[in-house]
Chains A and B, each alone.
Chain A
Amino acid sequence: MHTVTRPIIVFLCLCLLLLLLFPVVGSSFYTGLVTKIMILSIFTISLDLLIGFTGLVSFGHAAFFGIGAYLLAILFGNLEQINYWWSLTLTLSLTGVAALLVGWLCIRTSGVYFIMLTLAFAQMFFYFFFESPHFGGDDGIFMLNKPQITLATRQLVDLDNEHHFYYFVLAWLVGVYLFLSMILRAPFGHVLIAIKANEQRVRALGYSTPHYKLVSFVIAGTIAGLAGFLEAAHTNFVTPAYLGWHESGMAIMMVILGGMGTLFGPVIGTFIVVLLQDFLPEFTEHWKLIMGAIIIFVVLFLPNGIAGLIFSISNRFSSRAPGGREG
């Protein structure tokens, strides 16, 4: 368990500052790209709650990302005006119900069976959307409008403005990060982290571990749905590929590369992977080879990911960690 020390907080604040200032200097293209990365980061952070904190390696997490995106597109895609509050509430609660149903069945298994079961569910959802003509089939669905964020008829944020959208997503990313840090510091989080370390023992100490795992699964699924909602609102488009195993696999890779069990690690991992994907092809057509080499390097030499590297650097800065007070 990592303790978030002061140098780490300073580092995170600096990153936040960079993100805050970026649209001022960044071109429209890059503002859009960073918006996309931040949306994906919300998705990978939610996966980190499962992989890094609960010990549940879900290989079907993209299902909830896709379900969130599709719900917005199916329920609201044809409307002239989309009420943000309604669409968000409905999308998130329905994604949460989906996560509850899938999780309820999946958490009975563990290890490789859990991986296979979550993958199977995700593929089920994938083919459901892929093969339903009502829902756009393999073409996906285009949306006419973005949700309108109004409060008492006044428009708060204009999502059609790319800068507004950028800060809107950044606010969500910070919000999700703070929300997850909060529940991980609370009694609930302590139980999750212990379940990851030794579930049998935690059970013998009086905790109904399946319930805790299920709640974690639902929270993670709902946040993934939020990321899907944002992605659909950003691009005005949903495609079955959102739910595919490829997306789930990429998310796992981003979490591991960035450093699981750290919350901010997956954000770093997402930035690195997406940026590499965007820039490596400009240098060479064999960019996937370089990408693979980088991943192998990180896994071999930085077992705790890039966040692990940051932690060891920060420990050198802080004279001494304040002991292992829980947290």
Chain B
Amino acid sequence: MPEIILRTEHLCKNFGGLKATDDVSLEFERGKVHAILGPNGAGKTTLINLLSGELQPSSGRISFKGYDITDARPEKISRIGIGRSFQKTNILPGFSCFQNCWIGAQSCLITSMRFFRPARHLRMVHRRADHALQLCGLAGKRNQIAGTMSYGEQRQLEIAMMLATEPELLLLDEPLAGMGSEESQQVTALLRELAREQTLILIEHDMDAVFSLADRITVMVDGAELETGSVEQIRNSQAVQDAYLGHADEEVA
């Protein structure tokens, strides 16, 4: 019996009259890569923002490892082990890569309200920050100022900052957005590496990446869940093709 790490029950989010998330009930298994697909405006990022506490749901329930986290704030969500990366690169541009990861790694302290000893004496934080950089292939860029790196590297750093908090569950909001093919391959390889040990919830437009990475896929349309299944099921689903894949193909062509 697979363990359900995260569960949403009848999750709804309304912005005025708009139902951005409409009665979404999903289960995410530990150790799996669960991708969420959907055309633009399907409510994927809203869903991630609900899961990560950036937004509060209008109704419904979210539970993580059996605990109710429906109304938890972003900092709480992060502290209990759910990390997230952002669709728009969201780093500290004036800081070096290492300093960026440091802030993530330092959140392992029970509290950072510590005023006396210099932070650099914290060996554990050091190790975690360096480990996160290494995982993302940025060890060589340790001291480079984040804002001066290429877009792809900044996306990698985005993920490294999240990894530095050592989350149990990773929420990745379009990690490949806006990347060239070479950069995108690098990050796909990184995600595959992470997927071996971690639980990932992945929002992505890049169909090839999704099909090659995901164990399960949920397709969303207009804020609601259209279908959830294995890669094969989704590939062969008529409803999905009508709603999304066919439409996307036309757009690409």
Residues of A within 8 A of B (CB): 1, 182-183, 185-191, 194, 197-198, 200-209, 211-212, 215, 323-327
Contact = CB atoms under 8 A, between A and B. Distances in A.
B78 A206 contact: yes
A66 B93 CA distance: 38
Interface in B54-91: 54, 73-75, 78-79, 84, 86, 90-91
24 contacts: A182-B115, A182-B118, A186-B116, A187-B119, A187-B122, A188-B112, A188-B113, A188-B114, A190-B112, A190-B119, A197-B92, A197-B95, A198-B91, A200-B90, A203-B78, A204-B78, A206-B107, A207-B75, A207-B107, A211-B113, A324-B96, A326-B96, A326-B98, A326-B119
Nearest to B106: A187
Contacts of B115: 182-183, 186, 188
B114 A205 contact: no
B145 interface: yes
B143 A326 contact: no
B161 interface: yes
Contacts of A185: 118-120
Contacts of B54: 200, 204
A210 to B, nearest CB: 9
B4 interface: no
Nearest to B145: A324
B75 A206 contact: yes
B123 interface: no
A184 to B, nearest CB: 10
Given A203-B74, A205-B103, A191 B90 contact: no
Given A1-B95, A326-B120, A327-B118, A205 B112 contact: no
A194 B92 contact: yes
Contacts of A203: 73-75, 78
B165 interface: yes
Contact of B109 (A1, A187, A189, A197): A187
Given A1-B95, A182-B118, 8 more contacts: A186-B119, A197-B92, A197-B95, A198-B90, A200-B54, A205-B78, A212-B113, A325-B120
A211 B75 CA distance: 11
B114 A204 contact: no
B92 to A, nearest CB: 4
Contact of A201 (B92, B99, B116): B92
B133 to A, nearest CB: 13
Contact of B94 (A183, A197, A323): A197
A267 to B, nearest CB: 22
Interface-central residue, A1, A182, A190, A194, by most chain B CB under 10 Å: A190
B218 interface: no
B175 interface: no
Contact of A205 (B73, B107, B122): B107
Nearest to A197: B92
A100 to B, nearest CB: 15
Interface string B121-152: 01000000000000000000001010000000
B161 A205 contact: yes
A301 B171 CA distance: 44
Contacts of B165: 205-206
Q: Which 3 A-B pairs have the closest CB atoms?
A: A206-B78, A206-B107, A324-B96
Interface string B150-174: 0000000000011011000000000
Interface-central residue, B90, B98, B106, by most chain A CB under 10 Å: B106
A197 B145 CA distance: 13
B223 to A, nearest CB: 23
Contact of A206 (B79, B95, B117): B79
A186 B86 CA distance: 28
A198 to B, nearest CB: 5
